[in-house]
Structure 1
Amino acid sequence: MPAKAFVYTELQASVPFTDVPWEKLNAAIAAQPGFVDKTWLSGLGTHSVGGLYGFASVDDALLYCTEFFPALARDFGVAQTTRVFDNQATAEASAAMDAPHFGGKITTEPGAFVYTEVQVAVPFENAPWRDRNPVLREQKGLLSKVWLSGHNTNSLGGLDAFDTVENALDFALNDFPKTAAAMNAAYYTRVFDARVTEAASRGLNSPYYL
């Protein structure tokens, strides 16, 4: 079942991933309506806990964000962040960047992920991704990119897979701020250690580890 929507989540918690009961959580997450896959995310230096999920439809994604995940955050006693993205608009752009959700193949397992979101409202058909993709392909250590376009917001962003934490940090700290400045927009970045979440992500069909 192909995913037609993505969900990004992050709990405002500091929990080393070795202490996360991910096997129990995987069973509950996999049972949610329309669930396709999840890549677990563990915040570098913060130990926040979250993920990027695929769902069969935007409605399934919204149900997860309005019912299951808020209840989970209450159980943990922490605030939370959720975002919903309609991946149909970004499929061509993502496939061109070897995104494994769209048939792309990466030959190296990721060492880190970078989540980005720019505070703009640009329908994705008007986004300059054809100009941006060749520039991104020159980014040191970049393995793939999933473009993200906010449901109801048209924010622009993505989840980028890197070979190492060092290259992910270089992108988040040095390259992406220049991109946001050129757009004259505030932005949001997060760096995640992909090594510690590999087993949990494999358990939920993450396409980065298949």
Structure 2
Amino acid sequence: MPVNKVFVYAEYQISIPFGEIDWVPINVEMKKFPGLKSKTWLSGVNTNSVGGFYEFDSIENAQSYIDGLLIPFAKQVNGNLTVKLFDGDATKQASIGMSSPFYPAESQ
């Protein structure tokens, strides 16, 4: 059965204060990838690591994004990348019960 909601956690092990990142053009590039529903930027407390929490509509689109944007950027900045994929369909009911913004009440 296909997964229709995929969450991706990604983090670059580099030390760049978030205020020094020109995120506007990065957001433009990210929006070009099919299946990307949202991204929440992350900035590590006391580490200045940079990352994000993403929602995709399929594992295939999430993997395409990882391969096409995240991995090349890691090479460009000479940083280490950690990526994890999560099945958002499997956790739907538990997340609705916790008022998750990724599962509106009407999707019950």
Return the TM-score normalized by structure 2: 0.89
Q: Deviations over 1:145-171 (max 9, x none)?
A: xxxxxxxxxxxxxxxxxxxxxxxxxxx
- Provide the rounded CA distance (Å) in 1 between the counterparts of 2:34 and 2:94: 27
- Provide the rounded CA distance (Å) in 2 between the counterparts of 1:6 and 1:61: 8
Give structure 1 stretches of 5+ with no counterpart: 105-210
Aligned to 2:99: 98
Aligned to 2:27: 26
Q: Deviations over 1:101-147 (max 9, x none)?
A: 1016xxxxxxxxxxxxxxxxxxxxxxxxxxxxxxxxxxxxxxxxxxx
Amino acid corresponding to residue 49 of structure 1 in structure 2: V
Return the TM-score normalized by structure 1: 0.47
Amino acid corresponding to residue 36 of structure 1 in structure 2: K
- Provide the rounded CA distance (Å) in 2 between the counterparts of 1:6 and 1:92: 15
The list of structure 1 runs, each at least 4 consecutive aligned residues, that deviate by more than 4 angstroms after superposition, is none
Give structure 2 stretches of 5+ with no counterpart: none
RMSD: 1.2
Return the structure number with greater relative CO, CA threshold 8 A, min gap 6. 2
Aligned to 1:63: 64
Amino acid corresponding to residue 38 of structure 1 in structure 2: K
Matched, 1:81 2:82: yes
The structural deviation recorded for 1:15 is 0.8
Listed as ranges, the matches of 1:88-127 within 5 Å are: 88-103=89-104
3-state SS in 2 of match to 1:47: coil
Aligned to 2:11: 10
Listed as ranges, the matches of 1:170-189 within 5 Å are: none
Amino acid corresponding to residue 7 of structure 1 in structure 2: V
Between Structure 1 and Structure 2, how many residues are aligned? 102
Q: Deviations over 1:88-112 (max 9, x none)?
A: 00011111111101016xxxxxxxx
Q: Identity of counterpart residues, as a percentage?
A: 38
Q: Please tell me whether Structure 1 or Structure 2 has the larger radius of gyration of its CA atoms.
A: 1
